[in-house]
Structure 1
Amino acid sequence: MLITDELIAHAAASAPRAETDRRLPPDTAKALIAAGFARHFVPARHGGDQGTFTELTQAVAALGAADPATAWCASLMASLARMAAQLPEAGARALWETGPDTVVVGSLSPFGKAAPDGDGWRVGGRWPYISAVDHADWALLCATVEGGEPRVFAVPRAALTITDTWNSIGMRGTGSHTAAVHDLHSPAGFSFPRAALLTGGGPEDGAPCHTVPLEAVNGLSFAAPLLGAAEGALDQWTRYATTKARAATLRPGAPGPGIAALGQALARSAGETDAARLLLERCAAVADREGADITPAHTTRTLRDTALAVDILTGAVNRLLREGGTAGQSEDQPLQRHWRDINTSATHIALRFDAAADAYARPRLGITATA
């Protein structure tokens, strides 16, 4: 199902409450689960849909037009479940033993430490910025093994200590608070090397969605909500500008932007938003088509395109706010909220254009990794 008019209306109506509470309301989280975001990438053998990146991107963007924070959480619910498919069978069975709608959240930043402990590992650490953590059933948390590589551990909700630390000016409704684990024994079968996500492969009977390397789709999961944010801002601004244009026609020379300025802002921002959508849809289509066969060239182009799309979208929304006048910056207007959300999210490390440009350009310019 993923997206319906009812879900879009619910997200728009609940956005002010999410802003105030700095987390998704429980009924909004339940609506996302009922729509199928949590199960979208879950393997079929665990009851999931093992769906496509194209379908998810379109659904997340549609939801983001109503509320970017809700769309961000929906996108990450799906993406973290896709990562959980890397778990050995024992861990996967435990995680999805009650069904495919388990909410998985997490962080791949190696903020934790792990050490061998009998038949498993001893894990501890503190992980900030975990979106929708209040609604989690499980968390995937990355910890560095003493003298070894980072591993990703599946941790049940009962083992998490959640601290209210999310005070950002944008994406407030994501509830990206801090989770901590203290001296936890993680059994064998409940973790995997983080490198497995980077190389892809997934479970033996995995669908194409499980075999795509993380770098080839990671930026897409963060960019899709921002596409929705820009499209929602454009819709809000167009309604405002229609009123302004009528006033300018009736009262030539009155204060405020004229028809020409409004028209240029609309045409350029709408065109840029459409261009960003085309870039992101191509990224999703390539991931769906290629699966495990996706090439490094495809991957670096996707890194480039997702970061570039977010740059374009941010510029388009900034222009709309600049031309929106004082009314568009009112606290009760979605335009300013979408503007805050997209500018906050654009700083995410996965969306940095400088790093993406470097990864794209080096092999094409014959520059070695050590140069």
Structure 2
Amino acid sequence: MTVVSETIAPPSSAAPAAVRSQVTVPLRFPDGFTATAEVLTFHGLADGKEHLLLALGEWEQALLNPAPAGPGPLVRLHSECLTGDVFGSQCCDCGPQLREAVEQIAGAGGFLLYLRQEGRGIGLYSKLDAYALQDAGLDTYEANVALGRGEDERDYTAAAQMLGALGASAVRLLSNNPDKAAQLTALGIDVTEQVPTGVHLSPANHRYLAAKRDHTAHTLDLPPAGTGQDLPPAAAVPTPEDLLARVDALIPGLRERAEETERLRRIPESTMEELKEAGVFHLLSPKAVGGFGMGLETYAQVVRRLARGCPSTAWSAGHLIEHVWMLARWPREVQDEVFAGGPAPLAAATGAPVGAAEKVPGGFSISGRWSFASGVMHSEWALLAVQHENVRLQCLVPMSDVELLDVWHTAGLRGTGSNDIRAEKLFVPEYRTLDWALLGAADNPGSRIHRDPIIHTPMATFLNMVAPAATLGAAEHAVELFRERMMVRKVKHTVENRQADSPLAQARFSQAYGLVATARLHWEEAVRVLSAAFKCQPFTLTDEERARYRLSLALSGEASAEAVRLIMTGSGGSVHRLSHPLQRIQRDVNVLLNHASLTMDPILEQAGRGLLGLGFTIPAETF
């Protein structure tokens, strides 16, 4: 061991420190990589801890060639992580970052500072306590705060002292963390370049990395969990306008395949591929898992525009998008599982009728037959409602574990394939069951994981949007078809060469057009009321606002359906052929009107009570 007593002036903002000792240590990593380090210890460090500096590669030459004339030393500030550095924990990326840093610095010449700041400065025991809180749904920063500690308690004064003791006043910093560069700069170390580290993803650390990216602006191009595919850079993530333009481009193809969709009683695979390629199912998926993290307005517009091409496709796609959002409300363990294949896991969801659950060791045994499983023909997962004693639960099960019953033979929305699901004494592990009230609340487990505002809203208010949006889009398409037909159709027992020249037909068209315009205004009012409420954190919706938005949606559906009725009665007998799109629109709209979000009698009753300040006769959150 060589004892060194020389002291070099430290940065002006940090007290002096001196090199205490220097020893040569050969290094070997589990993958076989080897390097030789000069390990230095110090006197006079501000926090009194036993930090180490590993000088690697041609470090003396790097010190002699500082920036801007030369490259300068490459430096990594690495905080101690016993679980990751020693035991190979996959909950973080510390071990792989340490291995990467040694190789890069050995090649370039510079220093790895091994700083005794376990758990971002809170200590090993507290870090393990934070791990337990992360398992319960908090992110890595929220867990520290919940323990009464700071999000990041690390101080890099000692690091600046160590660099100053070696005369490294200007460095290239190997880090994705902007705080490290900021602190070094404030302490008098000139950071001439910030060199990013790689993304070391494991099945267990995706949310940890996403939290670092989203919470503290780490420069991470993070791929979707469990895939080898790169997450599109920010510039490639579409704006809402870009996404809507992609959807509009799909409409002609949806119209061409509408008859095939109905015949197949499911969305054709070609359509599903187009929807996936357009990123439609990423719409409500959280940004932390590679989704777009968009809001209600864009979602409702996407469903409406898809319905201009095919209402069945709009219905199924709308619910599949919505169910991704529902999965993002679950605790971390479930999210790690379902988002492992990418940001848009497809799931069916149904609660009618509610199944039965029996508590068994490790979880629940569930039985039931569930109807109206929208999206089931394209799903990997099923979300099933069950009753256990006085508690309603939602259970998440793989589609491979349940029986799919082909019963969807209907007059309208045939292309949705909303078949039944049956299970008998199916075991569901406890972590894949969740209290329905907790899942539906604004303060749901996913709201502790994701910052996207849409995750922090009650679920019931969001579930009423698909049917009204699909009904409006279908009616808008019907008006287009009626106009085209009127311009060429010759009507029997009239003197005009085409229907459009008839004053009565002109009046009929204007009435249908006006009804659709009225439906659109009602629909936009409902979206506006809900959007304003969603922007409030915590989410608030008065009885009057709830009554207004539900009434507006119902009136929108009623006006859309009346427009379609007028169009059909004025379009002649040939539109009732099964090959004509107008009859399909009429049948689809008739089925949509029977959905709970558009059934007029109970909506008018409850909305009237809400508008009069009498209070609802049902729980407000279910209306």
Q: TM-score, normalised by structure 1?
A: 0.91
- Among 591, 602, 606, which residue is 1:359 paired with? 606
The AA in structure 1 aligned to 2:476 is E
State whether structure 2 residue 456 is matched by structure 1 residue 211.
yes
- What is residue 150 of structure 1 aligned with on the other side? 392
Between the aligned partners of 1:257 and 1:137, the Cα distance in structure 2 is: 49
Q: Of the two, which has the highest radius of gyration?
A: 2
CA contact (8 A) 2:500 2:506 kept: no
Between the aligned partners of 1:201 and 1:270, the Cα distance in structure 2 is: 43
Cα displacement (A) at 1:227: 1.0
Cα displacement (A) at 1:344: 1.1
Calculate the aligned-residue CA RMSD, in Å: 2.4
**Are residues 289 and 207 of structure 1, via their aligned partners in 2, closer, same or farther at CA, if it must alter by over 3 Å?**
farther
Alignment of 1:4-43 (within 5 A): 4-43=247-286
- Among 347, 350, 370, which residue is 2:594 paired with? 347
Cα displacement (A) at 1:263: 1.2
- What is residue 101 of structure 2 aligned with on the other side? none
Cα displacement (A) at 1:234: 0.8
**Are residues 274 and 253 of structure 1, via their aligned partners in 2, closer, same or farther at CA, if it must alter by over 3 Å?**
closer
**Are residues 77 and 315 of structure 1, via their aligned partners in 2, closer, same or farther at CA, if it must alter by over 3 Å?**
same
CA contact (8 A) 1:230 1:273 kept: yes
**Are residues 334 and 117 of structure 1, via their aligned partners in 2, closer, same or farther at CA, if it must alter by over 3 Å?**
same
Cα displacement (A) at 1:232: 0.8
* SS in structure 2 at match of 1:101: coil
- Among 266, 280, 290, which residue is 2:533 paired with? 290
**Are residues 222 and 275 of structure 1, via their aligned partners in 2, closer, same or farther at CA, if it must alter by over 3 Å?**
same
The AA in structure 2 aligned to 1:30 is E
The AA in structure 1 aligned to 2:467 is F
Cα displacement (A) at 1:98: 0.6
- Among 423, 447, 465, which residue is 1:181 paired with? 423
- What is residue 171 of structure 2 aligned with on the other side? none
- Among 530, 549, 555, which residue is 1:308 paired with? 555
**Are residues 364 and 155 of structure 1, via their aligned partners in 2, closer, same or farther at CA, if it must alter by over 3 Å?**
same
Cα displacement (A) at 1:224: 0.8
Alignment of 1:224-303 (within 5 A): 224-244=469-489, 247=490, 252=495, 259-291=502-534, 292-296=538-542, 297-303=544-550
Between the aligned partners of 1:329 and 1:259, the Cα distance in structure 2 is: 22
Between the aligned partners of 1:368 and 1:227, the Cα distance in structure 2 is: 29
Between the aligned partners of 1:197 and 1:75, the Cα distance in structure 2 is: 20
Between the aligned partners of 1:179 and 1:78, the Cα distance in structure 2 is: 20
CA contact (8 A) 1:86 1:196 kept: no
Between the aligned partners of 2:602 and 2:428, the Cα distance in structure 1 is: 34
Between the aligned partners of 1:211 and 1:300, the Cα distance in structure 2 is: 21
**Are residues 368 and 167 of structure 1, via their aligned partners in 2, closer, same or farther at CA, if it must alter by over 3 Å?**
same
The AA in structure 2 aligned to 1:23 is R
- Among 388, 402, 410, which residue is 1:160 paired with? 402
- What is residue 310 of structure 2 aligned with on the other side? 67
* SS in structure 1 at match of 2:348: strand
* SS in structure 1 at match of 2:342: coil
Between the aligned partners of 1:148 and 1:38, the Cα distance in structure 2 is: 34
Cα displacement (A) at 1:113: 0.8
Measured against aligned partners, the alpha-carbon deviations of 1:145-189 in whole angstroms (never above 9, x if no partner) come to 1x2221111111211211110010111100111112222222222
Cα displacement (A) at 1:197: 4.9
Between the aligned partners of 2:606 and 2:289, the Cα distance in structure 1 is: 36
* SS in structure 1 at match of 2:385: strand
- Among 343, 349, 364, which residue is 1:121 paired with? 364
CA contact (8 A) 1:24 1:132 kept: no
**Are residues 99 and 139 of structure 1, via their aligned partners in 2, closer, same or farther at CA, if it must alter by over 3 Å?**
same
Q: How many residue pairs align between the two structures?
A: 368
Between the aligned partners of 1:153 and 1:124, the Cα distance in structure 2 is: 11
Cα displacement (A) at 1:77: 0.9
**Are residues 101 and 92 of structure 1, via their aligned partners in 2, closer, same or farther at CA, if it must alter by over 3 Å?**
same
The AA in structure 1 aligned to 2:316 is C
Stretch moving more, 256-265 or 355-364 = 256-265
**Are residues 299 and 210 of structure 1, via their aligned partners in 2, closer, same or farther at CA, if it must alter by over 3 Å?**
farther
**Are residues 298 and 256 of structure 1, via their aligned partners in 2, closer, same or farther at CA, if it must alter by over 3 Å?**
same
Structure 1: state its 5+ residue gaps.
none
**Are residues 242 and 163 of structure 1, via their aligned partners in 2, closer, same or farther at CA, if it must alter by over 3 Å?**
same
**Are residues 17 and 158 of structure 1, via their aligned partners in 2, closer, same or farther at CA, if it must alter by over 3 Å?**
same
**Are residues 369 and 107 of structure 1, via their aligned partners in 2, closer, same or farther at CA, if it must alter by over 3 Å?**
same
Work out the percentage of aligned pairs sharing the same amino acid: 25
Between the aligned partners of 1:101 and 1:255, the Cα distance in structure 2 is: 49
CA contact (8 A) 1:209 1:288 kept: no
State whether structure 2 residue 337 is matched by structure 1 residue 94.
yes
Q: Which has the higher contact order (CA 8 A, sep 6+)?
A: 1
CA contact (8 A) 2:347 2:382 kept: yes
* SS in structure 2 at match of 1:238: helix
The AA in structure 2 aligned to 1:359 is Q
Between the aligned partners of 1:255 and 1:290, the Cα distance in structure 2 is: 49
State whether structure 2 residue 191 is matched by structure 1 residue 191.
no
